[in-house]
Amino acid sequence: EKGGYEHFMLKEIHEQPESLANAIRGRLDFNLGTSVLSGMGTSARDLSEIQRVVFLGCGTSLHAGLVGEYAFEDLADIHAEVQQAAEFRYRNPIISRSDLVVAISQSGETADTLAAVREANQKGAFVMGLCNVVGSTIARETGRGIYLHAGPEISVASTKAFTCQVAVMLMMALKLGRGRRFSREEGLKLAREIERIPELVERTIQQSDKIEKIAARYAEHEHAFFIGRGYLYPVALEGALKLKEISYIHAEGYHAAELKHGPIALLQKGTPVIALANDIAGKDKTLGNVEECRARGARILGVITEGDKEAAEFMDDFIEVPACHPLVATIPTAVALQLLSYHIARARGCEIDQPRNLAKSVTVE
Ligand code: M6R
């Protein structure tokens, strides 16, 4: 059932080009430069009435929602925010009928996310689900939504669900954006970039052997920091979560600008800093932060855009991901970090598919 792979996690990482192709298939309209997401269950009028989008989720799904927040604000010009589902539920959320609430959950069974859905439904918001498991409780209770079509995810560490969640949110933002500020031409450009995602991920996965060699140099450390800014900030958080859950290395994800407000105090000679420095807005500032870390003796592993010699100069080691639209770049970058975590955990002899203390789906609040 592992299809010849040593672990489900590795199998699921490798399945991503296909999962993503399934998530995208039939959902892009190259005539109108938009996306077709009937599951959103919205008429054109509904869409124009949406004033705010609130994403809800936990763990990896929360990080996907954070990417969604950036995508909706930048592409669709719409106020968007992400909230940890348990926090949303207990803080008297201000919700109105013009709010679109998107519950993100691979399993569709996470108790905190389900409770948040019930709260949002009760307050009259327009609620939809972004689930992978067909017929799951959240999918049923939201009544409308978009399935990821990622295929079954067995490994406790979420991989293909995350990348499919981001891909689907990009298509949602494209659809909303076309109703608001995007021309057909701009819409087409983005649709073509989204269409490339499976290939971009395939090219990233092809570097698995190289990433494995790099991972061997980082496997002995007990602490690691992931930094990024802009679209890559949520990816830094996700990279740190993945590493800590399967390798038991204490890993922290920070906005690159936050380091010098405290965490930099923890850097010592050789402390690994994984810097997401793809060639997108904010790169120069992140490279400046890399210098600050290096000055404290940190060992820097960069994720950079293929062929970016300038960024490579700043790094002790680097992994390259293909050049693409900056929002789309979140996906191959996350895949590179999944492989890094996997190979580090494997080098440490960890269990990987069933990490201690964790369950695939958290059904208690
Ligand atoms: O099924 P869900 O997407 O609602 O699950 C949410 C989290 O429990 C989940 O993403 C968790 O953080 C993963 N183990 C991360 O790899």
Q: pLDDT tens for residues 99-117?
A: 999 999 999 999 999 999 9
Q: What is the structure's pLDDT at 46?
A: 74
Closest approach atom of ligand 1 to CA 138: 4
The count of other CB atoms within 10 Å of the CB of residue 216 is: 12
Question: Crossing angle, helix 184-195 and helix 197-205, to 10 degrees?
Answer: 30
pLDDT at position 45, please? 66
Cα separation, 170 vs 106, whole angstroms: 17
Q: How much of the chain is in helix, strand and coil states, percent to nearest 5?
A: 50, 15, 35
* Beta carbon of 320 within 6 Å of any ligand 1 atom: no
Say which amino acid occupies 13. I
Q: Map 70-91 to HEC letters.
A: HHHHHHHCCEEEEEEHHHHHHC
What are the residue numbers of the active site? 360
From CA 273, how far away is CA 20, in angstroms rounded?
A: 29
pLDDT band, residue 92 (cuts 50/70/90): confident
Which atom of ligand 1 is the closest one to the Cα of 107?
Answer: 1
In the numeric block, which tokens belong to residue 54?
């609130």
Q: Which of 130, 132, 158 to mutate to test the pocket of ligand 1 (most atoms within 8 A of CB)?
A: 158
Q: Say which DSSP state 282 is in.
A: T
Closest Cα to atom 14, ligand 1: which residue? 157
- 341 Cβ inside 6 Å of ligand 1: no
Q: What band does 143 get if pLDDT is binned at 50, 70 and 90? A: confident
Ligand 1 center–CA 255 separation, angstroms: 21
Q: Is 128 exposed, middle or buried (0-12, 13-18, 19+ CB in 10 A)?
A: buried
Which residue is associated with the tokens 């290096």? 294
pTM: 0.97
Q: Give the pLDDT of residue 365.
A: 81
Residue 44 predicted with pLDDT over 70: no
Number of Cβ within a 10 Å radius of residue 233: 25
How far apart CA 215 and CA 101 sit, in angstroms, is 39
Centre of ligand 1 to C-alpha 113, Å, is 10
ipTM at complex level: 0.99
Mean pLDDT score across all residues of the chain:
95
Angle at Cα 36 formed by Cα 34 and Cα 41, nearest 5°? 125
Q: What is the 36 CA–ligand 1 centroid distance (Å)? A: 27
Amino acid at 59: G
Cα–ligand 1 centroid distance for 68 (angstroms) = 16
What is d(CA 254, CA 262) in angstroms, rounded to the nearest whole number? 11
β-pair type (99-105, 145-147): unpaired
Q: Which amino acid is at 57?
A: G
pLDDT tens digits, 309-334:
999 999 999 999 999 999 999 999 99
In this structure, what token pair is assigned to residue 302? 């960069």
- Digit-coded pLDDT (tens) for 187-226: 999 999 999 999 999 999 999 999 999 999 999 999 999 9
| Distance separating alpha carbons of residues 212 and 346, to the nearest angstrom | 9
Rounded Cα distance, 243 and 248, in Å: 7
